[in-house]
Structure 1
Amino acid sequence: MSATFASALAAAREAASSQNYPQQALYVVATPIGNLADVSLRALHVLELADCIACEDTRHTQALLRAYGIAKPAGGWLSVHQHNEAQGAQEVVRRLQQGERIAYASDAGTPGVSDPGARIAAAVRTAGLAVVPIPGASSVTAVLSAAGAAGEDAGFVFQGFLPAKPQERQQAVEKLAGEARAVVLLEAPHRIAALADALAVLGERPVTVGRELTKQFEEIATLPCAGLPAWLAASPQRSRGEFALVLHPVAVAEDDREALRVLRLLLAELPVKSAVKLAAEITGAPRNALYELALKEKSS
């Protein structure tokens, strides 16, 4: 056990043990995306309680458990990853039907979100068994919270990884150009330069880049898409680590006469939120941009 985390397991037992953790249930456990201190107390308790831990990489998850002083016997592990998830899901169902509690953890973050885990959860539900989420760290929500681009008056789209082939990736970017909402992308270090070049065609549209989120060398920057290749090239370190990005919503230009006309008519009769919601539905303009314009109209 790491001396740094020596008290965490005891705290987890005290905080979470009074809850009910039924057998014959799959517990989908979110684990840290880099910083071990981001694990939740309930996650620790479930990982200790589980009869079996299914995971993307047993070596990776074993290292996490050792840090907190959790030990499992050799038979308490099941490797279920991208290449064997369909078969692994059936083994999970079989063991659940025998009365076990099983926790599933991917290498980092929340399973089933651009990570293995979705097929397992679907198979367990199809078998009529329970799936219990143990929420926690996620690069998606982490980068969104830092970008400030998906507030209560705006939505977002989770796109994940774009295609690896250049032509398919460029076609995907062209589709994103017409998406008015914020878009979350994920990328690996060996492909980030290619993604930056593809996104550069979006010009002045802002993008927030989150690199090595929660880790020692975390870096978060917001800049125009056109400047992303140069930002990466400015330092060799910037091409290292895992990336989560947010394409900000398409802005409504102040000379967009139709959107402004509709918004002004509605503001004369309705509260700001209601006016913005209806204006977005009528004109197709993004809510958060209309909300900013509405605030300007009110203040003037």
Structure 2
Amino acid sequence: MIILAATPIGNLGDASRRLVEALETAPVIAAEDTRTTVRLLSALGISHRPRLLALHDHNEKERAPEIVELAREQDVLVLSDAGMPTVSDPGYGLVAAAVAAGVAVTVIPGPSAVLTALAVSGLPTDRFTFEGFVPRKPGDRRSALRTLAAEPRTMVFFDAPTRVAATLADMADAFGGDRPAAVCRELTKLYEEVARGTLAELVAWAEPGVRGELVVVVAGATRREVAFPDAVTQVLELVRSGTRLKDAAGEVSSHTGHSSRELYQAALAVRG
């Protein structure tokens, strides 16, 4: 079978007993970076040296069939560099191929940067959405964030330290500077830090520069927090991304409380 295994996101003490046992016995490991896997084995004091196969974003489509066939005969342990495979990491394509081929897939659960950041953020955890990495290009980033301005659930994002100040500024512009948020830095590591405040406050915090691996958590919108013109903009952004106008108006209406009919008519007028 294929075994998806979560690895520590920073602190090696978070390696589960099941993970260690799997690493000690796995005949084959498909890893995002085989060098990282070799370092992990060494750090955990594991002398076992399995067959290592590289499985990353650039070769997953081509390599998945080979690994699936291999998994018919023996267990294949799948690792990303940190956290759970398939979550903003390689593995989804492999799992989909295995399911289609009737090959069993199971999981060794463990650390997740998404859930760790959500838990420590101080923001609502009952409903949330994971948005992955924020787009790199400023125009794409602003467009993506505008479509989320009316999202009522807590939002979790990944971002790079070199871009986070610009990202927070774009979030403040799209969501409002008074929207509560948290930037979680170096989670579970020696210099772990969680900066909490409004987006405007976090922009000021990030401007001098930020280092380390980051997760940004942002509170969801409250009903009527989004002004009507901004809600219309949300409708238009959804339409540009491929959503039918009627469906877009209904979706934004459910998040903002604005009339679906009025949003539809206003968006229709803007489109001409």
TM over 0.5: yes
CA distance in 2: counterparts of 1:215 and 1:285, whole angstroms: 39
2:20 is the counterpart of 1:49: no
The one of 176, 181, 186 equivalent to 1:207 is 181
Q: For residues 119-198 of structure 1, what are the structure 2 equivalents within 5 Å? A: 119-151=93-125, 154-198=126-170
The offset of 1:184, in angstroms, is 0.5
CA distance in 2: counterparts of 1:159 and 1:176, whole angstroms: 10
Q: How many residues align?
A: 228
Q: Secondary structure at the match of 1:215?
A: coil
Match of 2:55 in 1: 80
Q: Which 5+ residue runs of structure 1 have no aligned equivalent?
A: 1-24, 255-281, 287-300
The offset of 1:148, in angstroms, is 3.3
TM-score (norm 1): 0.72
Match of 1:39 in 2: 15
CA distance in 1: counterparts of 2:39 and 2:186, whole angstroms: 19
Q: Which 5+ residue runs of structure 2 have no aligned equivalent?
A: 226-252, 258-272
Q: Would you identify which runs of 4 or more consecutive aligned residues in structure 1 move more than 3 Å?
A: 251-254, 282-286
Q: For residues 57-96 of structure 1, what are the structure 2 equivalents within 5 Å? A: 57-73=33-49, 76-96=51-71
Of 105-114 and 86-95, deviating more is 86-95
TM-score (norm 2): 0.79
Q: Mark the CA change 1:174 to 1:52 in structure 2 (over 3 Å): closer, same or farther.
A: same
Q: Give the RMSD, CA atoms, in angstroms.
A: 2.0
Contact 1:60-1:107 within 8 A present in 2 as well: yes
Q: For residues 18-33 of structure 1, what are the structure 2 equivalents within 5 Å? A: 25-33=1-9
The offset of 1:199, in angstroms, is 1.3
Q: Deviations over 1:246-268 (max 9, x none)?
A: 111224589xxxxxxxxxxxxxx
Q: Secondary structure at the match of 1:177?
A: coil
Contact 2:183-2:215 within 8 A present in 1 as well: yes
CA distance in 2: counterparts of 1:111 and 1:96, whole angstroms: 17
Contact 1:200-1:228 within 8 A present in 2 as well: no
CA distance in 1: counterparts of 2:106 and 2:42, whole angstroms: 24
Q: Mark the CA change 1:72 to 1:89 in structure 2 (over 3 Å): closer, same or farther.
A: farther
Q: Secondary structure at the match of 1:190?
A: coil
The offset of 1:76, in angstroms, is 0.7
